[in-house]
Structures are given as structure tokens and as C-alpha cells.
Structure 1
Amino acid sequence: MEATPRLVASDIDGTLLRDDRTLSAHTAAVLARLSARGTPVVLVTGRPIRWLKLVYDQLAEPLPAVCANGAVVYDPVNDEVLRADPLAPELLAEVARRLRAEVPGVSFAVEIVDSRQMRHEVHYPLRWDADEAAIRAVETPEELHSLPAVKLLARTEGQQDPDRFTELVAGALAGLAEATHSSHSGLVEISAAGVTKAAGLAWYCHRIGVAASQVLAFGDMPNDVPLLTWAGRGVAVANAHPAVLAIADEVTSANSADGVATYLEKVFGAD
């Protein structure tokens, strides 16, 4: 990438946000300046729509988002889903069947209604989202698979290494669905075949007339690899997963040190 980027895309957790899930005033100000000068900034995240408010509350204005690892493209100004690529119920059932056979003790949750709601098996271990009203347990596998889902989540208490667990899941689902991860807790995120952060952002960029070569993207985890390899320039934060550091065009400072904002000021200027 030689010219100034026409669009900036950034992952949220571990990249734009600090480890306590807060956005620094410095980073918020840099993003606001970019938007004011007419450079689109897009959040590209594994998060569901219902978790975006925690970020929007820290920004000068809400930014468009590619959510659920590319399965949902969201316009926050109009609270409108522009595009969704869910797993169909019959595909969900087949994915779950294969994984139950391959991974004893696996448990599932699904992101439904364009990721505004979540349903989970009773024994699925919830984390920091446990108290949300949009989340509830289901009694049967049939209920879990009854609606299209933009993401299927798989956990197992017996699998501690997230990279190895993701490889196991991806092998079982080869050709059927996409498997990736963005946490250190052994959570695997499953999307429909071909659905990635890169695919979701590519659709959005085509819509507004921006080429991949004109995109500057930031990320930190394996679910960001397609995004960073697709973009004209892919930048990893210093705290990134080894797989991301290996493919990035450049590395900026860590999320805890405003790495994204620092790099953007280098490219666009500090004023």
C-alpha cells in the first residue's frame, strides 16, 4: 500500500480496546478525527451486535461494524442489519452431530436473531455474558438448532489449548463450515462456509466503492488472519497471537499502549 488508505478496519478486543475492555481517550480522539476527515472506520469483530453498545458508549459516534466474524454487517445509526450470512438449521444440526461424535463432552451455544440473542445448552459454561436478558438455556438439541444462527459456539472443559481444539474442530468440519477462535479460553467459533471477517468487510467495501488494496486493517487473534491477509495493509498489535504476527505486514505497539492510534497517527498525521 503506497497511497493513503481510504478505509480503516479494526478488530475490537485485544486490538482497539485495552485489556480491561476500555477505549483510551487518545484512541477515541484519533478515530473521531479520521471519521471527521471523511475516512470510514469500520469495527470488524467476533462480537455480537448486543455487545457493541459497550464500545459505542466510549466513541464519539457509533461506527459501522462487521460482527460475528463476518456473518453480520451492521449499521448502528439506523440499527439496521445490512447483511447476514447464517448457518441454516439443518447445517447447524449436522455440525453439532459431527462434533458430538468427535469431541466427547462438547457443549454448544448459538447466536441468533442476527446476534441480538443467544441460546445455549444447560451445561454450556457461560463467561461474562451470563446475566444478559437476551441469553437463555434450551432444554433440547432440537431447540438449539431450530433457528438460523450467525455463529455456533463450541466449548469443552477437557480441551485446554485453544489452537489444538480449533484444529480438531476445523478438521471435523472441513468443507462444511469455518472454525476459528479469538480467545484463550478454549472457545471455538463456527460460521457458515466462506464466512470470515474478510468476506464481511469485502461486501461492505464493495458497497461503498473501496478496494481491498485501499484498506488498512488491524487485528490480534486467529480470527483476524483472513482480514489482515485480505487488506492492502494488515497490521498486528504487539500482543497478537503468533499466527497473526506471522502474516502481518507490520507490527505496531500493544493494545495496552494505544497501538492502533499510534499507527494511525503515523499514517494520517497527528492533527
Structure 2
Amino acid sequence: MDPTPPLATIRPTPRLVATDIDGTLLGPDRTLSPYTARVLERISTRGTPVVLVTGRPIRWLQVVYEQLHAPLPAICANGAVVYDPAADEVLRADPLAPDLLAEVARRLRAAVPRVSLAVEVVDSRQMRHEAHFPLYWDADPTVIRAIETPEELHAAPAVKLLARAGEQDPDRFTSVVAEALAGLAEATHSSRSGLVEISASGVTKAAGLAWYCSRLGLSARDVLAFGDMPNDVPMLTWAGRAVAVGNAHHAVLAIADEVTAANTEDGVATYLDRVFSAS
């Protein structure tokens, strides 16, 4: 695909911009370039909503907001949580219920004997994890806590269940989990570390974004969306125009309408600059 399509192919001007964060907006060091921050601010202040659509929990948004000129609305936990940062308010949450969590955990333990599990709770402001679940990023004991009994894992609704089983090929491991949970829950991944992310059935980035757009009187055809990993595929398939960054997973490249430059080259900002400069 041509990473710099002619302007005729990127009209009409979108009425809403939706973008993934990690691997799409942020560079490998998890920072946002000043150029990208300026472009997002300009589009937003001129009246086109910009929405972050991410697998991240709410508690991981602050480090991104600190790099933006103003916080942007966010659809978190792969669509399970819709968050208004201006009011610090959760507009919508669609968690896995405790009885569903219990059945999901049972099936996972049967299908993957070495599986380690964790849950995002309190609308993803806190995490509970099994003692052997590896913590690569979280370390704050005020919001992260190891459970003492297996039953604690499903003691409360969770907006996302996380599964690991040592070093795994992420695509293959996600397929194993998805097969075990078929008809019960959604399984996807957004990293290359073998972490599988599980949501309630029907909960995807597309579903969360569609709900948010309906509040604004917008439809899929009004949306320009950017992404890089399999958890972005539902959103990109739903949006009127889907753009993959150049570093995207093959599943994203296969369904994208267009491809822009990689996240390391400000691909999203470059594309948006062209779209909105031409409008």
C-alpha cells in the first residue's frame, strides 16, 4: 500500500478522529513527539473530536495526558470503559460479571495448565493478580495487589481479564485462548510479549467507539481511525476510513484502507496534517 496516498483519497474530512496509543501514537520509548501533540491539539481545538482508543487501563492514561496539551476523551480496556478526563468520570463500563469471570478462569485453567491471570477492576483504576502473574509495568501497591485465594479473582466485576503462560507466540496463544472461550468472551492481544486480553462478549474497541460516537450523533462513516495491533482490528473494520501505521501487525495491514508512516516517524500526525490542511 502507498504510505502517502493522494489527497483525493482522504476526503471528505472526517468528523471524528480515533487513534490507538501504544505503537501508533507513541514511539518505542512510550513518548509522544511534540509534533504529534501539536497536530492533535490543533484538530481538537478547531472542533473535530479526537478520541484515544486503547487497551490501557485508566490508571495508565496520566503519563499520556502529561504529554498532550489537554487531556482527550478515552475509550479504555479495549472498549470496556469510556472515560471523560475533564470530569474524571466513567461514562460507560461493560465488565465481565463475577460468575462469567469464574467460568472464563475455569476454562482457561483447563485449556492452559500454566496460565497466570489478573483482572482490571474498579473501572481499570486497580488491578488484582495471581501471585505468579508477572508484572512488567505496574508496581504501585496502592492500586496493584496479589490475591490470596483463587476465588478473589472473580470476587468483583472486571473490565478486563489478563492471561499469560510464560513465553508464548502472541498470535498462537491468543488463538488457543479464543478457542477455549468461544461464545463466552472476547480474546485479543496488543503486545508482542504473549499477553492475552479478555473482555466480555461483544466488548471491543469498535463497540466502545460506536457508543461514544452515537452520543455525538456520528456514525462509522464519519470516523477516521488509526491502529497497529490485533485489538485495533474491530475498530478499524468499523470506521469509515482505517489507517495502519507502517509498523503495524500483519492482521492490521491486511484490513486497513491505507498505510501511513511508522509510529517512529509520526505517521498519525503526518497523515492528519495532510487531511486537515487540505480541508
Secondary structure of 1:115's match?
coil
Q: Which residue type is aligned with residue 121 of structure 2? A: I
User: For residues 161 and 133 of structure 1, what CA distance do their matches in structure 2 show?
Assistant: 32
Alignment identity in percent?
Answer: 78
- Which residue in 2 is equivalent to 1:252? 260
Q: Which runs of 4+ in 1 moved over 2 A?
A: 130-133
Partner of 1:206: 214
Distance 1:146 1:22, change over 3 A: same
Alignment of 1:82-161 (within 5 A): 82-131=91-140, 133-157=142-166, 159-161=167-169
Residue identity matched to 1:161: D
1:71 to 60, 80, 92: 80
TM-score relative to the length of structure 1: 0.98
TM-aligned CA deviation for residue 141 of structure 1? 1.1
Query: What are the ranges of 5 or more consecutive residues in structure 1 without an aligned counterpart?
Result: none
Shift in Å, 1:2: 3.7
Of 42, 55, 78, the residue aligned with 1:46 is 55
**Amino acid corresponding to residue 264 of structure 2 in structure 1:** S
**Paired positions, count:** 270
- Alpha-carbon RMSD: 1.1
Q: TM-score, normalised by structure 2?
A: 0.95
- Counterpart residue type for residue 171 of structure 1: E
TM-fit CA distance, 1:131: 3.7
**SS of corresponding position for 2:70:** coil
Amino acid at match of 1:30: V
> Among residues 261, 264, 269, which one is paired with 2:269 in the alignment?
261
Task: Give 1:126 deviation, angstroms.
Answer: 0.9
Q: What one-letter code is carried by the residue in structure 1 that aligns with 2:80?
A: A
Residue of 197, 200, 205 corresponding to 1:192: 200
Structure-1 separation of matches of 2:217 and 2:67? 28
Task: Find the partner of 1:61 among 67, 70, 91.
Answer: 70
In the alignment, which residue of structure 1 is the partner of 2:6? Answer: none
Tell me, yes or no, if structure 1 residue 222 matches structure 2 residue 234: no
Equivalence for 2:185: 177
Q: Which whole-Å CA distance do the structure 1 matches of 2:278 and 2:247 have between them?
A: 23
- DSSP 3-state at the match of 1:152: strand
Residue range with higher mean Cα deviation, 121-130 or 39-48: 121-130
1:224: Cα distance to partner? 0.2
2:19 to 10, 15, 20: 10
Q: Which amino acid aligns with 2:211?
A: W
